A and B are shown apart, each in its own frame.
Chain A
Amino acid sequence: MHDRPKDEIRGCAMRWETRRKVAPWVAAVAVVALALPGPALANGPPIQSETAFTTGLNGAAVRSFARVMRRSGEGGEMTAFVVPVVVPYEAIDNRLVLGLGLPLLTKTLRMSDGTERSSGFGIGDLMLFGKVNLFHHDEHQETFRVAGKLGLTFPTGATRIADGTGRLPRPLQRGTGTVNPSVLLVATKLWRRFGLNADVGYTAYPEWGGVDRGDVLNYDVAASFRVLPWVFRSFPDHQLNIMLELNGAWQGSTYANDVEDPSSGGHILFVSPGLQYIYDTVLVEASFQVPVPGATSLAGDQLTPDWTALAGVRWLID
């Protein structure tokens, strides 16, 4: 399940008359529309990145969490609150997982002059995904796996929300209005009490309403360590994992009617420490993201990310 930095920097071109003023905010807020987590499964770590595991679900699982994202700049600040619910299903044992996810979210843009605009709370865009195991090699107390994932996001979120001053800017809407395909390759190495995950993905954003948002190339690296139990005897046992993730993304510029938005696109990199507690069929986790100093380079005068906080639960259904 991705806390996609790619989403964080999703650019957006403006067609309304205040476009120049609002553009930086909007570019920053756009992201939230796809704060829907990726297809990370309920079979364990990492928190913000993807896993190559396609097993352990026993048919079904549920993942949900609450995420708060904050960005700020000279003009004010943006806060997004997202609660996605993701249900993966192990369609073919150890081979294929299918799933869907639907976020509930609200986005609020508070300008420096005190003006506030909010989308209100509601559903966002629906995501369907499939993840297939491509490679699998096991040894005693270690495993290496590679998986590929295809995803499609459907525009089920509202795109015509208005407040007292008129229709909200498109990035403040809860939906994106487009069908967005994505592909991702992920590798996972687990040995003894250590885990290492790496993934790279690409998401295409088709043109809609004269706006062509830049596609996103994202990448994640996550390292985890089992703190407790020191020796994992019989299952179940109380388990505590710590992890450190790097979540990066690069996005191309946005074009509106073939004109490039100078305040769109760029690169962003987060460092994300996290904690995970697991017992039997329940996993509780928390993670905090901050941008890596010097590694974030957003074009123009977009809002810059301050932090992201996440707390959630995953539950295996027998």
Chain B
Amino acid sequence: MSSPSTRRKSRQTGMKPLALMLLEVLALAIAWSAAPAWADDGEPAVAGSIEVRGLSCPFCARGLQTKIRDLAWVADVTVYVDDGRADFTVRQGRVPEVNALQTAVRDAGFTPGTTTLRARGQVERSGSDVLLVVGEGARLVLAAGAQRDRLLDEVGSSGRSVRVEGTAQTRGERTHVTVRSYRLL
């Protein structure tokens, strides 16, 4: 049982004035527009696939799946046997380590091929590097190339969010993506 004063308070706050609702919608819109690109929907900011040569033994795909899933930065993995590839998603705030991924494929008994990444983030310059910020402290290096230069021309200094796709390599501790295509968000 609620007291009369409680009911009164409830009536006051229970029915939102139209202005308040509009304010909330506006606040959400502002928050959404200010959110980093990697957090703008439920999809992972970084996903990819690796070509797996020799994947003719479906029973062996189990080992491949397990070894890739064991990588700390992997959120999920699916092995496509007849396509000869494994698709993976990357944990929030992490970047894929291509060398480790290739080692996992080799350890599973297969030969790794090209690794392709699809990443969503914001372009950032750091000295001579062009980075794609895909999460808090998670950055991919966009390797020099014609597509990257076109992307930079379009983005300028606006800090716009983009979605890029390209081949990936890990050099040292950084993962480089050679941009094949991109889309401004």
Contact = CB atoms under 8 A, between A and B. Distances in A.
A93 interface: yes
Contacts of B32: none
A234 B57 contact: no
Interface stretch (A7-15, A49-57, A122-130): A49-57
B54 A138 contact: yes
Nearest to B53: A138
Interface stretch (A178-186, A207-215, A275-283, A295-303): A275-283
Given A57-B63, A94-B106, A94-B107, A237 B58 contact: yes
Interface of A: 42-44, 53-58, 93-94, 136-143, 190-192, 195, 226, 231-237, 239, 278, 280-281, 283, 316, 318
B57 A56 contact: yes
A286 B185 CA distance: 56
A44 B62 CA distance: 11
Among A195, A234, A235, A239, max chain B CB count under 10 A is at: A235
Nearest to B56: A190
Given A57-B63, A234-B79, A139 B109 contact: no
Contacts of B106: 93-94
The A contact surface, by secondary structure, is loop
B82 A53 contact: no
B58 A235 contact: yes
Interface in B41-71: 51, 53-63, 65-67
B64 to A, nearest CB: 8
A218 to B, nearest CB: 24
Contacts, number: 106
Interface string B106-120: 111111010000000
B111 A138 contact: yes
Interface residues of B, number: 29
A301 B108 CA distance: 50
Nearest to B57: A44
A56 B56 contact: no
Given A55-B108, A138-B110, A143 B62 contact: no
A232 B57 contact: no
Contacts of A56: 57, 59-60, 62-63, 108-109
B56 A143 contact: yes
Contacts of B111: 138
Nearest to B79: A235
Nearest to B66: A58
B65 A235 contact: yes
27 contacts: A43-B60, A44-B60, A53-B57, A54-B109, A55-B108, A55-B109, A56-B57, A58-B62, A58-B66, A58-B67, A94-B108, A137-B54, A138-B111, A139-B53, A139-B54, A140-B51, A140-B53, A141-B55, A142-B54, A143-B53, A192-B56, A233-B80, A234-B79, A234-B80, A239-B59, A278-B58, A280-B62
